[in-house]
Amino acid sequence: MARLNVGVVFGGRSEEHPISVKSAREVARHLDPEKYEPFYVGITKSGAWRLCDGPDAEWENADCRPVVLSPDSDVHGLLTLEQGRYGTIRLDVVLPVLHGTLGEDGAMQGLLELSGIPYIGCDVQSSALCMDKSLAYLVARSAGIATPNFWTVTADDTIDPAELTYPVFVKPARSGSSFGVTKVSRAEELPSAVESARQYDAKVLIEEAVVGSEIGCAILGTGSELMAGEVDRIALSHGFFRIHQEETPETGSDNSTAIVPADIPEESRLRVQEAAKAVYRALGCGGLARVDMFLKEDGEIVLNEVNTFPGMTSYSRYPRMMAAAGLPLSEVIDRTISLALTGKIR
């Protein structure tokens, strides 16, 4: 049986570039060599595309070839340039192992749609929608899903700090991880927090602080055929949950521990899983996503955000939740590729 040509795209121009490289490294470790022939395409921080041997730590300094993903569906793959001559590499499927801006926001998905190549993960619409937290909240609310109270501040807007009830969280509306996020406890702290968020996005989200446990749920599949991984809970020692901000995240977070399975009652666990599926469907997700929520003391579940291509590193939450439910990363990859090839995602 011939192996499938799998394009693994990683890196990218967002602040989450190094996280994407680590995710791709873990994906590479779990790609079955008997089923797949991988082609690793690294995107540098400046936006250059390179065909390389793999996502190792020094890939950008290795002997890589310039390459682009052709938007011409007849090519159905990559265009290489070597010694002044173009070549082609046909791809059967693409794994866009990218996080944040220009990777998880619909931009890469749009290019893949033009190319005609099947790809794993959410489509253009759901990727763009989930990336903008304020729009995701509006859609979720229309589906009867609870969200925090929130305000948006665009580039030309100002907001009166006296109008808010503190504490609030200030964050870029369209960014990933915890970059540019500030917890604001007093009115005088608000302007600097807004400016910090604007370093990552011109549109800023201000949302009420929800008192409750931070929980997450990994979802795999599409439509009515969804699998929910085990629920996790973020246990904080101090401060608020920040991810990918540590010097050495592989050794653990500076202030948090992800408990998998979550130490919550069974009835709550089942309700969280069903709520995650409802959010996933309402926002049009397909393939895979991680739904982050709050579980309040009274049992109410409140949406936090949806990651349409969650981290796949050795310490990331999504693969840990799926593994706890009996599905290792190699099988997650197999299932998402199968969904993409059969057209069941879109």
Domain coordinates of the chain in residue numbers? 4-119, 128-146+211-342, 150-208
CA distance 280 to 275: 9
Bridge partners, 153 (sequence order)? 204
Q: Over range 131-155, report the average pLDDT.
A: 95
Report the range out of 78-82, 197-201, 227-231 with the highest average pLDDT: 227-231
Q: 69-86: buried (b, 16+ CB within 10 Å) or exposed (e) per residue?
A: bbeeeebbbbbeeeeeee
Tell the residue number behind the tokens 């109410």, with chain if given: 300
CATH C-level class of 4-119? alpha beta
- For residue 183, the tally of other CB atoms under 10 A from its CB is 16
Q: What is the mean pLDDT of the chain?
A: 92
The DSSP secondary structure of 118-153, one letter per residue, reads -BSS--HHHHHHHHSHHHHHHHHHHTT-----EEEE
pLDDT of residue 243: 59
- Which pair of structure tokens corresponds to residue 305? 């955000």
pLDDT of residue 76: 96
pLDDT of residue 238: 44
Tell me if the domain spanning 128-146+211-342 has CATH number 3.30.420.40: no
Fold (CATH) for 150-208: Dna Ligase; domain 1 (3.30.1490)
Predicted TM-score (pTM) of the model is 0.91
pLDDT digits (tens, 9 = 90+) for 93-112: 999 999 999 999 999 999 99
Q: Over range 148-160, report the average pLDDT.
A: 89
CA distance 135 to 69: 30
- Asked if residue 255 has pLDDT above 80, the reply is no
Q: Which of 102-106, 241-245, 291-295 is predicted least confidently?
A: 241-245
Q: Over range 111-137, report the average pLDDT.
A: 97
The DSSP secondary structure of 175-192, one letter per residue, reads --TTTT-EEE-SGGGHHH
